[in-house]
């Protein structure tokens, strides 16, 4: 089965951890992930600027390793990222900001990427949000 996974909740939220566990189980079960899409506060899962307390799981680091290790398509909604200051190098330059919080393996792109992923997948699974 081919899955598209959308994560709407911040890195410290339980649903972000559930999304990662689901994604890991899907691959372990022989399924395919066509795209991971991070939207709303979910963009914080891709931010290198998030500092996790030592006694908690570092979900941004775990997401980064997971996407890198499996060479997955990890897309961060550009509009949601800009609103939250989660910028890649190009956007930091464009808006004359110092902080760069997103780099490889993440790609900043539009909401159309979620739509395309939903069309390509057998199932769209969403975690978090209202």
Q: Which of 34, 46, 77, 87 is catalytic?
A: 77
Annotated catalytic, 126?
no
Q: Quote the mean pLDDT of the chain.
A: 96
Domains observed in the chain: 2-127 (3.40.1260.10)
pLDDT score for 43 = 98
Average pLDDT estimate for 7-29:
97
* pLDDT 10s digits, 74-106: 999 999 999 999 999 999 999 999 989 999 999
Which residues fall within 8 angstroms of residue 56, CB to CB, at 6 or more apart?
A: 12
Note the pTM of the prediction, 2 decimals. 0.94
**Around 3, how many Cα atoms within 13 Å sit in the side-chain half-sphere?**
22
Residue 116 and residue 100 in contact, taking contact as beta carbons nearer than 8 Å? no
Cα–Cα distances (Å) from 18 to 24, 69, 99, in that order, read 10, 19, 29
Which residues fall within 8 angstroms of residue 23, CB to CB, at 6 or more apart?
A: 3, 5, 33, 36, 66
For residue 105, cis peptide bond before it (omega within 30 degrees of 0): yes
For the cut 90, the answer to whether the pLDDT of residue 28 exceeds it is yes
For the cut 90, the answer to whether the pLDDT of residue 35 exceeds it is yes
* pLDDT 10s digits, 54-81: 999 999 999 999 999 999 999 999 999 9
């Amino acid at each position: 089965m081919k899955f598209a996974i959308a994560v709407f909740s911040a890195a410290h939220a339980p649903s972000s951890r559930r999304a990662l566990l689901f994604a890991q189980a899907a691959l372990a079960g022989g399924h395919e992930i066509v795209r991971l899409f991070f939207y709303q506060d979910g963009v914080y899962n891709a931010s290198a600027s998030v500092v996790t307390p030592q006694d908690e799981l570092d979900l941004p680091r775990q997401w980064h390793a997971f996407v890198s290790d499996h060479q997955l398509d990890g897309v961060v909604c550009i509009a949601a990222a800009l609103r939250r200051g989660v910028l890649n190098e190009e956007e930091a330059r464009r808006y004359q900001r110092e902080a760069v919080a997103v780099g490889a393996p993440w790609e900043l792109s539009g909401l159309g990427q979620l739509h395309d992923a939903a069309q390509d997948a057998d199932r769209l699974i969403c975690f978090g949000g209202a």
